[in-house]
Amino acid sequence: MKLLLLLFMSPLLVITALQNTDGSTINQSLSYIKNSTQNSKKSVLVFSATRGFRHASIPDGIKALQKIAARNNWELTATEDSSIFNNETLKKFHAIVLLNTTGNVFGKNEEAALQQYIQHGGGIAGIHAAADCEYDWPWYNQLIGGYFESHPAIQSATIHIKERHPATAHLGSSWIHKDEWYNYKSLSPAINVLLELDEKSYQGGKMGHSHPIAWYQDFDGGKMFYTGLGHTSEAYQDEKFLMHVENGIREVMKK
Ligand SMILES: [Zn+2]
């Protein structure tokens, strides 16, 4: 009972109360306080390995995500070592960001670990080439929601905001942005579209009147967010894009 009361008291009261308890209770209480502080900090894994095209903007993307993590008090781990995809290590992350990953970046066991992570309520945010990755893994296709098909030259385009969501709330009803605009194949019918490209506003769109460029879904026990933006280094200096990414990541985080 005394321990329970301690847990709900302010830190000052806890210290006062601890003076009246024996050593073991103090240790238990202190370790509870320590754990609860650690648990309140969200951990984010940024993975940017490439086995195909390598985006020159990856270091800028990591820097921008570090800035986002700092202002949210998230603990950020950035790596290109796929061995981090094991059940024990993934467990500690509240969200995984796939930053411009390309090609077959995961081994079989690593795929199984990512699958288990999602099935246990994990969250994943894919940026741009996260859709240009793992083409021979149908589960990944469903998770990310589509595969890269082609792209025209980098140019400005008009984006229409299709759904009010934390990742789009700051954007108004349309947004003009310069990027490398992906056409997609194998789009999942389960995705909820956040942003749609206006193909009349640029050259080289191939998807007709409905061209999703950012979306989210609940999938296989977890949550995912994907944005097709994020090819250029300039994007990672663009506060509108960074807020889109930041709020997209926050939405998929394990509580
Ligand atoms: Zn690109």
Running along the chain, 255 residues long, what does each successive block of 10 average in pLDDT?
43 39 43 50 97 98 98 98 98 98 98 98 98 98 98 98 98 97 98 98 96 98 98 98 98 94
Query: 89 C-alpha vs ligand 1 centroid, how far in Å?
Result: 29
Query: 83 C-alpha vs ligand 1 centroid, how far in Å?
Result: 25
Query: 152 C-alpha vs ligand 1 centroid, how far in Å?
Result: 10
Domain of 180? 41-252
Query: 131 C-alpha vs ligand 1 centroid, how far in Å?
Result: 10
For residues 14 and 48, membership in a common domain is answered with no
Nearest in space to 196 (alpha carbons), one of 173, 225, 169: 173
Query: 55 C-alpha vs ligand 1 centroid, how far in Å?
Result: 6
For residues 51 and 114, membership in a common domain is answered with yes
Tell me what pLDDT residue 38 has. 52
For residues 24 and 71, membership in a common domain is answered with no
Query: 88 C-alpha vs ligand 1 centroid, how far in Å?
Result: 32
Q: Could you give the 3-state DSSP secondary structure of residue 223?
A: strand
For residues 231 and 165, membership in a common domain is answered with yes
HSE of 242, CA atoms in CB hemisphere, 13 A:
19
For residues 9 and 93, membership in a common domain is answered with no
To the question of pTM greater than 0.95 for the whole model, the response is no
For residues 60 and 181, membership in a common domain is answered with yes
For residues 120 and 96, membership in a common domain is answered with yes
207: CB partners within 8 A, 6+ apart: 183, 184, 197, 199
For residues 16 and 78, membership in a common domain is answered with no
CATH number of the domain residue 213 falls in: 3.40.50.880
Spatial separation of the C-alpha atoms in residues 93 and 122, rounded to whole Å: 8
For residues 133 and 32, membership in a common domain is answered with no
For residues 123 and 154, membership in a common domain is answered with yes
Query: 163 C-alpha vs ligand 1 centroid, how far in Å?
Result: 24
For residues 86 and 207, membership in a common domain is answered with yes
Does residue 128 come out as left (phi exceeding 0), alpha (psi in the -120 to 50 range) or beta? left
For residues 34 and 45, membership in a common domain is answered with no
Tell me what pLDDT residue 39 has. 58
Query: 35 C-alpha vs ligand 1 centroid, how far in Å?
Result: 41
Query: 182 C-alpha vs ligand 1 centroid, how far in Å?
Result: 8
Query: 228 C-alpha vs ligand 1 centroid, how far in Å?
Result: 9
- CA distances to 16, 39, 201, 242 from 34, in Å: 17, 9, 54, 32
Domain count, the chain: 2
Query: 232 C-alpha vs ligand 1 centroid, how far in Å?
Result: 7
243: CB partners within 8 A, 6+ apart: 170
Query: 129 C-alpha vs ligand 1 centroid, how far in Å?
Result: 6
